[in-house]
Amino acid sequence: MAKKIDVLVVDDSAYMRKVISNLLQSDEDIFVVDTARDGLDAIEKVKQWRPAVVTLDVEMPRLDGLGALERIMRECPTPVVMLSSLTLEGNETTIKALTMGAVDFVPKPSGAISLDIHQVREELITKIKVAARASISNLHGPLTLKMTKPFSAPVSSLPGHAPKKLVIIGCSTGGPNALQQVIPRLPGDLPAAVLVVQHMPPGFTNSLAKRLNETSQLEVCEAKEGDVLQTGKVYVAPGAYHMGLLSKTVIGLNQDPPVHSVRPAADVTFESAVKYYGSQIVGVILTGMGYDGSKGMASVKKMGGKTVAQDEATCVVYGMPRVVVEMGKADKVLPIQQIADEIVHMLTS
């Protein structure tokens, strides 16, 4: 019989601790070893029990979720799934947690005390099982960035002009942390527009774009219907919407059915863009579960474009990149710290 996944449940509400524990233990593969009432209690119990996964509430007294996460990752690295409220402040805190080393998050359906937490049972259980298999060594905050030395771009490729080339990046679990190690490393005069597809629900993608924008030389925004592509700008697909191109320069969003059970899906963006940019695309697939992006990367290769996949050693979850590599559709397989430089090289060589 396979060993169960030991989980520590952390929440300041006794009611939520009980409900979440019961919800998790309704799955035969999960065992809740203990609960903790706040961040300080959580740190002690992580060290005591050494659980496989921690579910961590964002808002708690004494030491909140971010403070607890920082200490857990520093003192006793453990996969963490955050439970966050559906507020702007909660969204921004969650994105910060993901860049600090949390594997994933699940939004509470109706605030701190969610009487309807059962609505996210399947999502929470699935993400705990993924987190239990995540690479501990790659659960860290962004590395200190050594900024890429800006290159001299052709005048026609300066920021603000319609792009002649396109970079498309797809990612899922572990993606916000990985993006924090790629986008800020790209130079401000990058001769391309960048489309980012991160599997994430509504609201959180805007917070992700804002956080990336704060640390990047490029302008980063959440994409909107009708946005006109500009060289040197990064467009993040909004949660719950597929992102494609209506023409060579105009972004279109839709709520067509999920592809590979996700929306946005990277394959939708790749398949739409390849019609207009063909060989002028650099495709990138980063850490994540599943196989979204593999069909799109194959299309890019077929049209003569270039492709990069993150290597297993630096992925939190080696799923999406593994499929691309096994299909033979990755021109380069690189650690996350080298991908930005490779994008620049592929665009300018």
DSSP letters spanning 14-50: HHHHHHHHHHHHTSTTEEEEEEESSHHHHHHHHHHH-
For CATH 3.40.50.2300, list the domain ranges present in the chain. Answer: 5-136
Instruction: Give CATH for domain 5-136.
Output: 3.40.50.2300
For the beta sheet containing 219-222, the strands, ordered from the edge strand earlier in sequence to the opposite edge, are 219-222, 233-236, 193-198, 166-171, 281-285, 306-310, 332-334
Structure confidence by residue, pLDDT tens digits, 24-64: 999 999 999 999 999 999 999 999 999 999 999 988 888 99
Indicate whether this model's pTM tops 0.75.
yes
The pLDDT score that the predictor gives to residue 72 is 96
Please provide residue 11's backbone torsions phi and psi, each rounded to the nearest 5 degrees: -160, 145
For CATH 3.40.50.180, list the domain ranges present in the chain. Answer: 155-348
Cα–Cα distance for residue pair 237/160, rounded to 1 Å: 20
The pLDDT score that the predictor gives to residue 271 is 98
Residue range 155-348 forms a domain whose CATH class is: alpha beta
State the catalytic residues.
Answer: 172, 199, 292
Please provide residue 272's backbone torsions phi and psi, each rounded to the nearest 5 degrees: -70, -45
Cα–Cα distance for residue pair 193/195, rounded to 1 Å: 7
Instruction: Decide if 120 contacts 109 (C-beta within 8 A).
Output: yes
The pLDDT score that the predictor gives to residue 111 is 58
Structure confidence by residue, pLDDT tens digits, 176-197: 999 999 999 999 999 999 999 9
Structure tokens at 348: 């300018």
